[in-house]
Amino acid sequence: MLTGGGAESAEVAKRGLSRRQLLRRAVGLSLGLVGAEAAYGALTMLYPNLAGKFGAAITLKGKDTYKGAMQKDFILDQAGIFYESGAKAYIMHLLPGDKTFFLLQGDTLNEFLDAQSWTVDGDGSYWAALYQVCVHLGCKVPYRDDCNSFKCPCHGSHYNVDGEYLDGPAPRSLDRFSMSFDKAGNVVVDTGKLNQHVERPDTGTRVLRVPGIDCSAQ
Ligand code: FES
């Protein structure tokens, strides 16, 4: 048993060791927390919570909101074509059967519609969700009632009511999102699934008639 100065030194050494241990533990804990926070931040950046926001599936309004129309009767936000800012998309709703004239027929038509992300509803009407961005250099493309088509104000790329390329510098047709209907009958647009592979059509692959209107750049 130590007495006097020896015992005191031992006590100091013991207390010193404890302090060092405590200090190490505190530093370790802090570093652990910082690391966990950084990892959480990185994960949040990699996998942001986009539920219901642009970049994920967005539930829009009921189908009845988007009144179907024949191609020539489209009027923005009234018939056939509707803008949804949250989805950055135009919802297209074409009336079925003999009210919509397709240039392709049968299986060929169905293959094209499928490849171009069209959705056919139970009543036989046709739907698509067109991304608002011009595939030339990225301007927002307005739908023009006076042109019965989309016309980009930047360099004049021109697209039919279904986003099909008509003329101008765009390399392909408008891109389109995957869309569906939920059980309640709402339109659901998956803005995380974008089809960027709809080529410029030629006379043998065009789906809808070219609008017979001369559309000016302005
Ligand atoms: S960005 Fe639309 S035509 Fe150039």
Q: Exposure string (b/e) for 12-35, b if CB count within 10 Å is 16 or more?
A: eeeeeeeeeeeeeeeeeeeeeeee
Q: What is the pLDDT of residue 78?
A: 98
Phi, psi of 111 (to 5 degrees): -65, -40
Q: What is the pLDDT of residue 23?
A: 57
- Between 23 and 191, where is the model more confident? 191
> How sure is the predictor about 1, in pLDDT bands with cuts at 50, 70 and 90?
very low
Give 125-163 pLDDT, tens digit per residue: 999 999 999 999 999 999 999 999 999 999 999 999 999
Q: What is the pLDDT of residue 171?
A: 98
From the CA of 159, how far away is ligand 1's center (Å)?
Answer: 11
Query: In this structure, are 36 and 115 located in the same domain?
Result: no
Residue 63: Cβ-neighbour burial (10 angstroms; 0-12, 13-18, 19+): buried
The token pair that represents 70 in the structure block = 């024949």
Q: Within 13 A of 60's CA, how many CA atoms are on the CB side?
A: 24
Indicate whether 209 belongs to any domain: no
Indicate whether 217 belongs to any domain: no
- Between 46 and 175, where is the model more confident? 175
Query: In this structure, are 80 and 120 located in the same domain?
Result: yes
Confirm or reject: Cβ of 140 under 6 Å from ligand 1.
no
Whole-prediction pTM value?
0.78
Query: In this structure, are 62 and 143 located in the same domain?
Result: yes
From the CA of 181, how far away is ligand 1's center (Å)?
Answer: 31
Indicate whether 190 belongs to any domain: yes
CATH assignment of the domain containing 179: 2.102.10.10
- d(CA 116, CA 186) in angstroms, rounded, equals 21
Range of weakest confidence among 6-15, 37-46, 130-139 = 6-15
Which atom of ligand 1 lies closest to the CA of 169?
3
Q: What is the pLDDT of residue 213?
A: 87
Query: In this structure, are 8 and 88 located in the same domain?
Result: no
User: Is residue 36 within a helix (H) or strand (E), and if so which, with residue range?
Assistant: helix 4-46
Query: In this structure, are 155 and 191 located in the same domain?
Result: yes
Give 58-96 pLDDT, tens digit per residue: 999 999 999 999 999 999 999 999 999 999 999 999 997
Nearest residue by C-alpha to atom 1 in ligand 1 = 137
Q: What is the pLDDT of residue 212?
A: 85
**C-alpha separations of 217 from 48, 122, 137, 192, 209 in Å:** 39, 38, 16, 32, 21
Confirm or reject: Cβ of 116 under 6 Å from ligand 1.
no
Indicate whether 200 belongs to any domain: no
Total domains in the fold of the chain: 2
Indicate whether 140 belongs to any domain: yes
Indicate whether 218 belongs to any domain: no
Give 98-117 pLDDT, tens digit per residue: 667 899 989 999 999 999 99
The whole domain housing 10 covers 4-46
Q: What is the pLDDT of residue 71?
A: 93
Query: In this structure, are 90 and 28 located in the same domain?
Result: no
Give the residues across from 199 on adjacent strands.
172
Query: In this structure, are 41 and 88 located in the same domain?
Result: no
Give 189-209 pLDDT, tens digit per residue: 999 999 999 999 998 999 999
Indicate whether 204 belongs to any domain: no
Confirm or reject: Cβ of 104 under 6 Å from ligand 1.
no
Confirm or reject: Cβ of 154 under 6 Å from ligand 1.
yes
Indicate whether 215 belongs to any domain: no
Q: What is the pLDDT of residue 2?
A: 46
The token pair that represents 76 in the structure block = 């923005």
